[in-house]
Chain A
Amino acid sequence: MYVSDIDMLSPRSLQECLYLLENEKASFRLLAGGTDAVVRMKEGKWQHDCWLNLKNIDELKFIAIEKDEIHIGPLTTHQEIISSPLLRDHADVLVQACREVGAAQMQNMGTIGGNIGTASPAGDTIPALFVLGAIIELTSLTGKRHICAEDFFIGPGKTVAFPNEIITKISFKIRGKHDLGIFQKLGPRKAQSISIVNVAISLSMKEGTRECTGGRIAFGSVGPVVLRAKKCEAMLALGELSPDMIANISRVAWKEVMPISDIRASASYRRDMASALLERGLYRLMKRWADDERKPF
C-alpha cells in the first residue's frame, strides 16, 4: 500500500467525527499534530484507509477554569500550554513538561491529546498528568467515560480507549497556594530528544516550614507505563524535607523503578538517573519554596 492511497476526512464538529468513526467502513486513524502519527505512516507501520483530521474541530481546543477545576482540550498544543498564564499559575508541572517536548516546531504542532494517544512510556506530559491527578474524558457516539490518568495507560502504545472513542478533555483540580511542582528530564540532546528518564513531582507544603503534608512522584521511561513511586511518596510526609531526607527518598527511588535496557540507555544507568533526577527535583522545589516564602530555613 502506498502512503498516497491514504485518504483524509476533516470533520468540522466532534459529533460529525464520532459519527464517521462509528459508521464508516474504512479503517481510520486520528490525526492531530501528526508529529507521531505521520512518522508512523512514513515508517510503514500504519496502513489504514483514511485519516480523521481533528485539526478543524474548534470545540476540542480550549484551556478553561471552572470553579476549582481546569479543563484542557486535547487539541491544545504544547506551545499553547506553555504560554497560558492560567496554567503557569495552577499547573506549573505540566507547563514545564510541555517545555521539554521536542523543540519549537514540535511544540507548535504537537498536542496534549496526541501525547496521551501515543501512550509512550517516555511521553513527557504523562508523568505531569499523573501527579496532577488528571482525569481523561473519552467520548463516543453513545456516551462519555472519565478515566483517571493512572488507569488510562496499559502498556507501551496501549490505552483503555476503544477504537470508536476520542479523547475530548483533560481535567484536574487547581493547585493551592502551598502546592508546587516540577518536571525533570534527562535526554541525549537538549532539544528534540526522547526522555531516557523523566520525573514529575508535586508537593503540598505546610506554611512556614520545610514540612510536606503529602505529594506525588511519577517516573517516565522506567517501565512499560509511567509509574507512581508510592514508597517514595510515603516518605515525603515523614518529617522535614532536609537534605538527608531527600537523599534517603532518592535511594528508595533507585529500587522502586523498573527500567529496561534499550538503545537509549541501560537499566542500571536509568536507575541511577531516576534517583539523581528525583534528588535534584526535590532540592530545587525546596529552594523555590524557601525563596517564595522569603524565609531562610
Chain B
Amino acid sequence: MKTIDFFINGTEISITCSPSKTLLDVLREDAGLTGSKECCGKGECGSCTVSLNGLPVCSCLLLAGQVHGQNIVTVEGIGTPENMDPIQQAFIDEGATQCGYCTPGLIVSARSYLNSIGHLPGLDEIKQALGGNLCRCTGYTKILKAVQTAAQRLLTFREL
C-alpha cells in the first residue's frame, strides 16, 4: 500500500492503495468517479480516456503509483449536468450518443483535441484525433458532427 496524492478535476486528493492499481480502478472505486469506463482494459478502445496534465491517455494502463503529484481531468471535470461544456452540449444536440459507454472517453479526447487547435477541423483531422476511441453503436457520423459543432461554437465564443 502507498499513499498517492494527486489532483482530480482540480481538487487535491489523497488515496491509499496498491501502487499497481490502475488509475481507472482508483477513479471508479476509491474516488467514486464512475464516468470513465473500462471496456478492453488494454489501451485499444479509449473508453477509459482521461487527461493527464492536459493530454489524453488511457487510464486502464496508467498505474496509481505513476500519477503521484499529477493533474488528472475526467469527464466529470469537463462539465456538470447544470453547466455543460460545449462539447457535451454538442453531443446531446447532435444525438452523438447511444449506449453511452464510449462517450466519456470521447468527450475527454475531443475536448483535449479542441484545446490544442484554433481552427475549424475537417472530418479527416477529427478522425485522426479520435482514432483511439472506438464506438460500437453510432457509426461515428454523429460523433464527428458533434465535434465540428462544438469547434464552431468554441470559435465563435473566442471571437466574441
Which A residues are closer than 8 A to B by beta carbons?
3-8, 10, 31, 34-35, 38-39, 41-42, 51, 53, 55, 79, 102-106, 108-109, 190-192
Contact = CB atoms under 8 A, between A and B. Distances in A.
B14 interface: no
Contact of B58 (A5, A31, A79, A109): A109
Contacts of A79: 55
Nearest to B64: A8
Interface stretch (B38-46, B75-83, B138-146): B38-46
Contacts of A55: 66
Give chain B's interface residue range (CB within 8 Å of chain A). 20 to 34
B129 A104 contact: yes
18 contacts: A4-B20, A4-B21, A5-B20, A8-B20, A35-B43, A38-B61, A39-B43, A51-B19, A53-B66, A103-B46, A103-B132, A104-B112, A104-B132, A105-B43, A105-B109, A108-B56, A108-B57, A190-B131
B22 interface: yes
A38 B68 CA distance: 17
Contact of A34 (B62, B109, B131, B133): B62
Given A5-B18, A105-B46, A192-B43, 11 more contacts: A3-B18, A3-B20, A8-B2, A8-B19, A10-B65, A34-B62, A42-B41, A103-B46, A103-B131, A104-B112, A105-B109
Contacts of B21: 3-4
B120 interface: no
A211 to B, nearest CB: 36
Contacts of B68: 10
> Which 3 pairs across A and B sit closest by C-beta, in order of nearness?
A103-B132, A191-B131, A8-B65
A67 to B, nearest CB: 32
Nearest to A193: B44
B5 to A, nearest CB: 13
A106 B65 CA distance: 19
Given A10-B65, A34-B63, A42 B132 contact: no
Contacts of A109: 57-58, 61-62
A8 B67 CA distance: 12
A190 to B, nearest CB: 6
B20 A41 contact: yes
